Amino acid sequence: MTVSEVAKILGVSKSSIRTWSSEFEQFLSASATPESGETRQYQEGDVATLYVIQQLRDQGVSYEGIHQALREGAAENVVVPARIWQLRQELPEGETITLPREFIERLFSHLDAQLEMLREERNQMRSELREMQAERLEAEKRAAAAEARAQLLEKLRTSS
């Protein structure tokens, strides 16, 4: 599939597709990010990934946030509805496609599950951090007590 076809399917400009392809090339197939001078050819998985990128950009997510989401699998098991694939041949220049509500809900459900997992991980890390801080404070107290004993012993030794 060409840049123009993908742009029509997703309802974005060709320059957006090229920009995203460069920015997120590690998440796309080699044919979508060819050597200079070669034509980009997108696979179904590339379109699904670009679709996720588009949805996240529409929500105001930064490129850094999108990289993180993609590293965490946001584009895994995302299927661009079959009807979009059919429409790519029929869609006149300049028209956009509205995606089915259930598809968007499935995507958000996936993202919500990932967010919940990250929250749980964050809470676990906070708990571990509190434990480590408590251990550090205890170690500092023991070190201070040992230092005080060492100074006292040194004082006793020098006064004898």
pTM of the model: 0.52
Contact yes or no for 9/47 (Cβ under 8 A): yes
Point out the domain boundary residue: 82, 97, 112.
Answer: 97
Residues 105-137 have pLDDT tens digits of 777 887 888 889 899 999 999 999 999 999 999
**What confidence score (pLDDT) does residue 110 get?**
77
Residues 67 and 143 in one domain: no
- How far is the C-alpha of 54 from the C-alpha of 126, rounded, in Å? 33
pLDDT exceeds 50 at position 59:
yes
Point out the domain boundary residue: 68, 97, 126.
Answer: 97
Residues 74 and 91 in one domain: yes
Residues 13 and 82 in one domain: yes
Number of domains in the chain: 2
In the structure, what pLDDT confidence band is assigned to residue 83 with cuts at 50, 70 and 90? very low
Residues 4 and 80 in one domain: yes
Residues 7-48 have pLDDT tens digits of 888 888 999 999 999 999 999 999 998 888 889 999 888 888
Residues 24 and 74 in one domain: yes
Contacts of 67 (CB under 8 A, 6+ apart): 24
Q: Which domain holds residue 68?
A: 1-97
Residues 80 and 129 in one domain: no
Contact yes or no for 71/56 (Cβ under 8 A): no
Residues 90 and 110 in one domain: no
